[in-house]
Structure 1
Amino acid sequence: MTLYHFSILIRDADKSTENLEDRLFDAGCDDALICFYNQSVYLEFDREAETAQIAIQSAFDNLRQAGFSDLVLQEAGVSSLSEIATRTGLTRAAISNYANGKRAKDFPRPVYGVASGSALYSWKEVANWLYQRNKLSKMQWEVAECGAVS
């Protein structure tokens, strides 16, 4: 068994959700930290399972059992260079050097936001690139490879 860390945004929950902690605990989310950012609620899971896919799917199932349906796996989306640095534990400067070609020529290209100056990258593509270069743990790579789980 491996311990997988991942985050799920609960888009149909808010801070005022009655008995939120109890509902989540009763549904099997006792291995998650409830977090709030502005008006958003998300859970940071540390779930043990045979595979990342099983860990993530079981968390989605638990959240549905708690009555939520609008769920987003954060590791399935896009990331800014700052978010990539935070997820990997590498410095923002190191990630920028990869992205601008100073440390590598084949870093994944942005998928969104180039015109606005806030480039966003596919976390799955970046995770794969970093994993191939031994800059990312196998657990983080496996979670990123799961993509969208429903």
Structure 2
Amino acid sequence: MTPNSFTFLVSGVDPMADDFEDRFFEAGCDDATLALMNGVVAIGFDRVAESYMHAVFSAYRDVLAAGATVERFEPDFLVSKAEIAKRANLTRAAISQYVSGERGRDFPKPVARITSASPLWDWVDVSAWLHRTGQVPLEEVINARISRVVNGYLQGSRTALKTGDGLLLRKMKQSMPKLAAA
């Protein structure tokens, strides 16, 4: 079992309440760090579990048990070139070369903010490409898809979901009671 790091951004709780920290601790979030970041309550986990999916699902249940509403999940599946480099443990220059086609072939195209100076890529697509080129393990691709599906569900967005994500979403609904009711 390995530690899994991720963050839930939540609402519906008062970070100034006397029992704020106790609510989360008593709900099973003893492996979480609670923070108020830019006015948003962020609950960062380093959860040990048999898989990333089990860690995310169990933490999700614990956060709900504390009375919070989960608004968003991080790590996000939309990534910049700098974030790609960080997650893949590669240089920013290497990623720029992949993007421009100087190195490697068929690097995924950006999916958001395409007309800006800082486009975003789908981490699932990028991690799959990096896996095919031997630069990240398959587990990274699987975890990326879990992150995309969790956020797609939380945002109520069908646009975030892609082929194959529906099966994972059904599995999530079986594992997460609040999802099953939706």
More helix by share: 2
TM-score normalised to structure 2 length: 0.70
Question: 1:6 is paired with a residue of what secondary structure?
Answer: strand
Question: What residue in structure 1 maps to residue 156 of structure 2?
Answer: none
Contact 2:13 2:67 in 1 (8 A): no
From the superposition, tell whether residues 37 and 88 of structure 1 become closer, same or farther in structure 2 (CA, over 3 Å).
farther
2:60 pairs with 1:60: yes
Q: How many corresponding residue pairs?
A: 149
From the superposition, tell whether residues 112 and 13 of structure 1 become closer, same or farther in structure 2 (CA, over 3 Å).
same
Question: Aligned AA for 1:102?
Answer: E
1:65 deviation in Å? 0.8
Highest RCO, 1 vs 2 (Cα 8 Å, sep ≥ 6): 1
Question: 2:106 is paired with a residue of what secondary structure?
Answer: coil
Question: What residue in structure 1 maps to residue 113 of structure 2?
Answer: 113
From the superposition, tell whether residues 35 and 16 of structure 1 become closer, same or farther in structure 2 (CA, over 3 Å).
closer
In our comparison, the structure showing a higher alpha carbon Rg is 2
TM alignment of 1:5-44, pairs within 5 A: 5-10=5-10, 12=11, 16-18=15-17, 19-44=19-44
TM-score normalised to structure 1 length: 0.82
Structure 2 residues not aligned, in runs of 5+: 151-178
Identity across matched positions, percent: 37
Question: Aligned AA for 2:37?
Answer: Y
Question: 1:45 is paired with a residue of what secondary structure?
Answer: strand
1:36 deviation in Å? 4.0
Structure 1 residues not aligned, in runs of 5+: none
Question: Aligned AA for 1:148?
Answer: V
**4+ runs of 1 displaced by more than 6 Å?**
none
